[in-house]
Amino acid sequence: MFAGTFASRALRRRPPSVPRMVPPPQRSQETPLAIGLRNLKKGEFERAIARFQALIASGDPQADAARGWMVVALLGQGHRSIAEDELAKLASDDLDNELLYDLGCAAEGAGLTRQALQVFSRIYLRNVSYRDVGRRIKKLETPMDDTTRTGLDPDLEAERMPRRYTGLALLSRGGMGVILTALDRDLNRKVAIKLPNIVQIFDAQREPVPFFTMEFIEGQSLDRALKASPGIDLRAALSIGRQIALAVECLHSKSILHRDIKPENVIVQRTGLVKLVDFGLALSEEWGRITQPQTVLGTPRYMAPEVIGGAAPDTRADIFSLGVVLFELLSARHPFEGTGMFPQLSVTAPPLKTVSSGTPRSLSYLVDACIDRDPDVRPASASRVAQLLTAELARAGGVPL
C-alpha cells in the first residue's frame, strides 16, 4: 500500500522545468574557400595561401579549387617556381571556367606561356566564345621575347656586388626581382639596391651583376596607413593624392608609364611627403605603342580594363590606377567590389559621392572620371588631375607640400 501510494505520487509529480535554451548566435555562412578568395581579392596573399593550404590538407571537396586559387595567390606573390609545381598537380577538368580564366591570366602575367596556353585551351574546348580566350590563345601562340625576368639569386648577387656597397641585406623579394639595402661608401648614405637594373637614380652598373641604387625612404606604405586609420581626413587625403598625381605627371613627362600604381607602392613619410616607388613594371610609352600588346602585368585590382583586355598601356591606364587609389583614400573602400580577380570588368563603381558623403561633388566627378571604363572619358593627363586636386586642397583649407 505504502509502496503503491509512493509510486502513484511519483507518477503525478511534475518533471523539473527545463531552462529555456537560447539559440547560439548565427555564425557567418561564408565558407573557408570564400574567405580565402576575399583575402586574395584584397591582395592579402599570405592569408589566402594559408586558407587554401588548410583546405587542401583537409581533403575538402573544394580542395582542387583551393589549389587553383592558391596558384593564383603564389603568382601574385612572385613565387613562380612553387606555383609551377602546384599547377602541375592541378586537375583542371574539375575547375569552373571563372577560376580557370583567372588562373590563365595569372600564369600569362607571370610569363608561364605554356601553362597559360593549357589553361585557356581547356576553357576553349568547353566554350569557344568564353570571354576573350580565343584572342589570348592566339596571342600566346605568337612567339615573343621575354626579357622582364631573370634568375638572380639575391644571396649570390650580394657576394658579387662592387666593394662600394657594404652591409648588404635582403629588404624584400617580389615577382619582378629583389631589393637589398646597403651602405654606399661613396655617398656615405644608406641606399636600396634593386635587381635587375631598371632606371639610374644614384648609380647603375651592368657588371658583374645588373643593378641600380636608389634613395632609401623612411616611412609607411599608404596601404598600411589606410589599414591602421581608414578614415583619413579630406585635407590629408587630398594632399597625398595630389602628390601621387604629381609623381605620375613627372613620369609621363619623360614618356614613362609606371603600370603598378597602388597603395603598397606609395610611401608616406612622417613629414607628410609622399613618394611613389617600385618601378619594376615601368615601361617607355613609345615602346608600349610600337610593340605587340604586352603581357598582362600589374596588380589585378588596380589595372585598367583595356590593359586586362590586352591593349597596349598608355598614360590613361596609369590615371585609372591613380583613380582607384584616390577612391580608396576618400572612401576607405575599393571602388570595384565583386568576385574574381578582375571585378572592374563586370562591376560598375558607385559614384564616389554616394559612398563618401563628405566628398565635394566636384572632387567626386574627378575621381569617377578617372576610373571610367572608357579611357577617353578619363582626364587627359596626370597634370590635369594634379591641378584639380591642388584646387580642391586649397578649397579645403590645406597647404600644398
For the annotated catalytic residues, the residue numbers are 260
Task: State residue 215 phi and psi, 5-degree precision.
Answer: -60, 135
Q: Three cell numbers at 375?
A: 579611357
What secondary structure letter does DSSP report for 304?
A: -
Place of cell 584639380: 388
- 191 and 182 Cβ atoms separated by less than 8 Å: yes
In angstroms, the CA 198 to CA 195 distance is 8
Q: Can you tell me the distance from the alpha carbon of 99 to that of 205, in angstroms, rounded to the nearest whole number?
A: 42
| Cα–Cα distance, 16 to 9 (Å, whole number) | 15
Q: How many helices (H) and strands (E) does the chain have?
A: 17, 10
Residue 59 sits at φ, ψ, to 5 deg, of: 70, 25
Q: How far is CA 176 from CA 12, 79, 246, 360, in A?
A: 82, 10, 25, 39
Whether 249 contacts 381, CB under 8 Å = yes
Contact 300, 241 (CB under 8 A): no
Alpha carbon distance 273, 237 (integer Å): 12
Cell of 360: 565635394
DSSP string, 147-209: -S-----HHHHHHHS-TTEEEEEEEEEETTEEEEEEEETTTTEEEEEEES--S-SSEEE-SSS
Answer for the pair 360, 366: CB distance below 8 angstroms, yes or no.
Answer: no
